Chains A and B, each alone.
Chain A
Amino acid sequence: MTTLNSKIPQGPLAEKWTTYKSTCKLVNPSNKRKIDIIVVGTGLAGASAAASLGELGYNVKVFCYQDSPRRAHSIAAQGGINAAKNYQNDGDSVYRLFYDTIKGGDYRAREANVYRLAEVSNGIIDQCVAQGVPFARDYGGLLDNRSFGGAQVSRTFYARGQTGQQLLLGAYSALSRQIKKGSVKLYNRRDMLDVVVVDGKARGIIVRNLVNGQIEKYFGHAVVLATGGYGNVYFLSTNAMGSNATPLWRAYKKGAFFSNPCFTQIHPTCIPVHGDFQSKLTLMSESLRNDGRIWVPKKLEDVAKLRKREIKPSDIAEEDRDYYLERRYPAFGNLVPRDVASRAAKERCDAGFGVSHSGLAVFLDFKESIERLGKNVIEERYGNLFQMYEQIINENPYETPMMIYPAVHYTMGGIWVDYDLMTTIPGLFAIGECNFSDHGANRLGASALMQGLADGYFVLPYTIGNYLSAEIHTKRIATDAPEFVQAEKDITEQLEKLKNIKGKQSVDSIHKKFGKLMWEYCGMSRTEESLKKGLSLVPEIKKEFWTDLFIPGEMNEYNPEIEKASRVADFIELGELIMKDALQRKESCGGHFREEMQTEDGEAKRDDENFAFVSAWEFKGEDKEPEMHKEQLTFEVAKPSQRSYK
């Protein structure tokens, strides 16, 4: 049995990373040239890692399913990236960023990893500015900041409402430079379908070429997964259509432990669902909560009139509005963390105060800010978001409040990694959203970009060297080695099995059904009963999938239905693990809210005595129960307390 060793360096928290960097093993330049590294995914984590490893002199192979590495879904992040620069002189520091992140994650993240994240955050901003990322600036020419949820300082750097795009294009440009130099080779339109393990170590991957359907094999001395989150388990989420969990799930089946799968983040400010034909949900950046006020009517009769469109939101008098976040959380107001804001919206809507036709929406109102700052200031800050909203809803948010509702957005859970970001399979690393390590049970806004780039630019380049220093004598393994051939055969058979089901339903129709099941029984709040019910329904939908699926077209051509089918097969299995994990965690923390466990005023009630651990699930074989291991969390510096934003 694998034992979990998080390999956290000794010494005081603030010195761990410095000590690690000055004592970790190195690979000399002539040996780096002989080492191949595979990076899967070209979002912030993958692109920054591939570029940085290429600069160091390794031979890097980078893979993405998109037609270009610039399109990875990091590009859609809107609001910003946190760093402890304290440019605003408002009391920020590395310690405070660390503390806010640990507290925001409801004390379910690893202290050492989070402290390191806060420590390297400042370097990210320097790096991005040097690459030509056009961050927002003030009239003196220096960088501007905005505020985000869960913090009382302004530490968020931004590029209008397109921060993720600009940071990703920065990383993509660094990657492009390495591709030109020949240190990185790009493989686009490739879907990773398996990890190849040779003598207990990750040595390669199996991919499907999405253009011609061919199965291809690639060798690496190490493999890095940077494949993002698994929010699309729920079908409707803010993820891109192609975002998927297949690389994670296949790694899990090859021996990588899966941690905290039930920690899924429901983002409070998304455009509400409007029909059965809907294919995805669109996020409205959390930064809007800087200037927008969230409310619902106080009186149910006003709600009824709103729904019938007999009155407009502006007809409701100030004293008849319930600014419920400001009421419940005076200290943080509209800037409470995401999990808190989402649950508060659900609470109001469940009580019948939802403002849309479906009853599942609350107002996000900019009237006061527009009066205070002027329309042009609001337009400069959020222009593209307002335009996006208007395209979808056909209402002008400068004139009438936005309608928003929580939606699945980010997944804090992921592949278990140690301090080196290595999984339980030696030589297999996981960085960015696809690992579990930094956000605990809830991620704060503007911290995903920070983590992706921290892992890729500043952490992995050190930690992977520590591993590879022992691999300098390992010769490249030919991809006709038996392990590669077997993996290729397994994958080909799986795809043929899917193709040969020859049932009646499209992949999407089954995925939609499964997504609804997940949202209903394991969504914003969970109970023992709902989880058991959800779990009992999984075998049925699995059977439906494996007997009634229909995939048109051929295997050896561009065939998106094959791609989707293999992803959805994994989503269903992962969904089951999410519910199992949610069922065992009999406490409420962060994004995981168990209705049975709440304080008298409806806040999440943690159970530190019994649940201050990271769950790490081990695959034991098809149709066998997975085994849960525990990594106990110890807090030496940030002592757990009841999270209060009041």
Chain B
Amino acid sequence: MDLTLKIWRQKNSSAKGKFETYKVNDVSPDSSFFEMLDTLNQQIIETGNDPVAFDHDCREGICGTCSLYINGRPHGPKRGITTCQLHMRSFKTGDTIVIEPWRAKPFPIVKDLLVDRSALDLIIQAGGYVSVNTGGIPDANSIPVQKQKADLAMDAASCIGCGACVAACANASAMLFVGAKVSQLALLPQGKVEAADRVEKMVAMMDMLGFGNCSNTYACEAECPKEVKVTNIARMNRWFIRSKVGAEKPEAATYD
């Protein structure tokens, strides 16, 4: 199939970017979206020019490295997959495809389609963990966990940290990302101990980094390649309230 590509080119974070138009011909419908971009880059290199930079690594939909707005949608037109899992059979010959980087203030552009998502790491560093050291741990089966809760925790834990939720949100909110981690750990007895403290710290960091608020459009859930549910945001909000009032308030423990 023959395609026209409009791709955002930007030399570095301080340069001004613009769209460039490219043609690629004879693309196999069985090739992946990135294999199509590989073909384009091969063409560009053969003419002695600078290939298009884009983030990618595992190419099997799990590492969360890849990104891209494709025709205005994070990870392209299909639901529940990452860009690296998108195949060209989802397009037809003659199509024009517009490719842009994630656009959100906390994700500055590094080059072309590459953005810096370190902000998501900073949110995890603020509290997205259970505070246990290596060793001296009780037997794994010493605390039974209700299967339904373990399954819900797994649903939340399937987040790959790609940032599509932020990119999809009109407010560039990271609530789905944060909600998923807060939920995963709060649903399990091992993580529940610190749940109130954790949600406070993670939300504070998210706000500090310039991510916006949630206004319930559910765009994040619709574009999440792992289909993480907005109910995780609701659970996070409940924990956030509990962290501010009553017995779950971290300081409350000192009154016992």
Q: Which residues of A contact B (CB under 8 A)?
A: 48, 51-52, 55, 66-73, 75-76, 85, 87, 123, 125-143, 159-160, 162, 165-166, 169, 172-174, 176-177, 179-180, 186, 188, 211, 240-242, 274-275, 277-280, 282-283, 387-388, 391-392, 394, 457-458, 461, 504, 506, 508-509, 550, 552-553, 557-558, 560-561
Contact = CB atoms under 8 A, between A and B. Distances in A.
A75 B111 CA distance: 25
B135 interface: yes
Given A76-B62, A143-B141, A240-B59, A275 B28 contact: yes
A458 B135 contact: yes
B158 A279 contact: no
Contacts of B157: 133-134, 159, 166, 169
Given A71-B65, A134-B157, 12 more contacts: A67-B65, A68-B161, A73-B57, A76-B60, A132-B184, A140-B144, A141-B144, A172-B124, A180-B125, A278-B35, A391-B86, A394-B87
B12 A557 contact: yes
Contacts of A69: 121
Contacts of B153: 132, 134
A125 B190 CA distance: 13
Interface residues of B, number: 78
Contacts of A134: 150-151, 153-154, 157, 184, 188
B64 interface: yes
B76 to A, nearest CB: 12
Interface in B93-129: 110-111, 114, 116-118, 120-121, 124-126, 128-129
Interface in B18-33: 28, 30-32
Given A67-B118, A174-B129, A174-B134, A240 B57 contact: yes
Chain B interface mostly helix, strand, loop or mixed? loop
B7 to A, nearest CB: 16
B45 A277 contact: no
A67 B87 contact: no
Contacts of B64: 68, 70-71, 75
Given A68-B161, A129-B140, A506 B62 contact: no
B196 to A, nearest CB: 15
B111 A458 contact: no
B138 interface: yes
Contacts of A174: 129, 132, 134
Contacts of A70: 64, 121, 124, 161
A144 to B, nearest CB: 9
B130 A131 contact: yes
Given A134-B184, A275-B28, A391-B81, A67 B125 contact: no
B85 interface: yes
A584 B233 CA distance: 60
A482 B33 CA distance: 47
Contact of B134 (A52, A67, A388): A52
A388 B50 contact: no
B185 to A, nearest CB: 5
B89 to A, nearest CB: 6
Given A180-B126, A274-B30, A558 B111 contact: yes
Interface string B68-85: 000000000000110001
B81 A71 contact: no
Nearest to A157: B140
29 contacts: A66-B63, A68-B64, A70-B121, A73-B57, A75-B64, A76-B62, A127-B132, A131-B130, A132-B190, A136-B150, A137-B145, A166-B157, A176-B129, A180-B126, A240-B57, A240-B63, A241-B56, A277-B35, A278-B31, A279-B34, A280-B60, A387-B80, A391-B81, A392-B32, A457-B135, A508-B38, A509-B42, A552-B45, A561-B51
B133 interface: yes
Contacts of B57: 66, 71, 73, 240-242
Most B C-beta atoms less than 10 A away, residue of A67, A242, A278, A279 = A67
B39 to A, nearest CB: 6
A53 B65 CA distance: 27
Contacts of A550: 45, 48
Contacts of B117: 67-68
A67 B116 contact: yes
A186 B41 CA distance: 31
A328 to B, nearest CB: 30
B5 interface: no
Contacts of B110: 211, 558
A394 B89 CA distance: 9
B64 to A, nearest CB: 6
A135 B190 CA distance: 13
Contact of A75 (B31, B58, B140): B58
